[in-house]
Amino acid sequence: MAKIHRYERAFLILSAIMLVVFLAALGYAAFGMGLHLPTRAGQIRPEDVARTPPFDRPGVREVEPGRWEAVVVARAWGFNPAEIRVPVGQPVTFRITSVDIIHGFHVDDTRINLMVLPGQVSELEYTFRKPGEHLVICHEYCGAGHHAMAGKVIAE
């Protein structure tokens, strides 16, 4: 057997231990604490998004008294609807997907920050506490028109 220098052996052992610790931490975060990407609420074939409810009718609606849903379809390079009007003080569930490539949905001054994957429904509930206008930007580089891919959320 080849002789391994003791420092080399120590670093090999240390590396192995670190690997196990990091994997354990990752496993604990994912399964113990339930940390994961914003809810994957469903999967639609990207080419079917436009005719699959609720994405056949993008927009904001009251799903039950005091609870709202904002359905958004992202495509290169825009959001439909580009202007989202939501009530202040009532929970709004954002449901968003993409019909083409990966986009992002970030609402300025809030914790709303979703990856938008083709056909994968991303979901997040949020309650706006005060009226105001928030810029929405795509934060995943998605091509030539990426910098222009924006919208707004108006809480009123």
Q: Of these, 72, 92, 138, 155, which contacts Cu ion (CB under 5 A)?
A: 138
**Which residue from 129, 116, 41, 35 is spatially nearest to 78, judged by alpha carbons?**
116
H or E element at residue 71: strand 67-75
Residues near 101 by beta carbon (within 8 Å), at least 6 away in sequence: 76, 118, 142, 143
Regarding 153 and contact with Cu ion (CB under 5 A), the answer is no
- Stretch near Cu ion under the rule CB under 5 A, chosen from 10-18, 64-72, 79-87, 146-154: 146-154
> Which DSSP state fits 15?
H
> 68 or 118, CB closer to Cu ion?
118
Regarding 106 and contact with Cu ion (CB under 5 A), the answer is no
Regarding 146 and contact with Cu ion (CB under 5 A), the answer is yes
> 58 or 68, CB closer to Cu ion?
58
Length of the chain equals 156
Least distance from Cu ion to the Cβ atom of residue 38, Å: 17
- Stretch near Cu ion under the rule CB under 5 A, chosen from 1-9, 22-30, 58-66, 133-141: 133-141
- Report residue 59 as tokens: 């927009």
Q: Of these, 142, 151, 153, 155, which contacts Cu ion (CB under 5 A)?
A: 142
Give the angle subtended at the CA of 111 by the CAs of 105 and 117, to the nearest 5°.
30
- Stretch near Cu ion under the rule CB under 5 A, chosen from 8-16, 30-38, 59-67, 144-152: 144-152
CB 116 within 8 A of CB 37: no
In the complex, the residues that contact Cu ion under the rule CB under 5 A are 138, 142, 146, 149
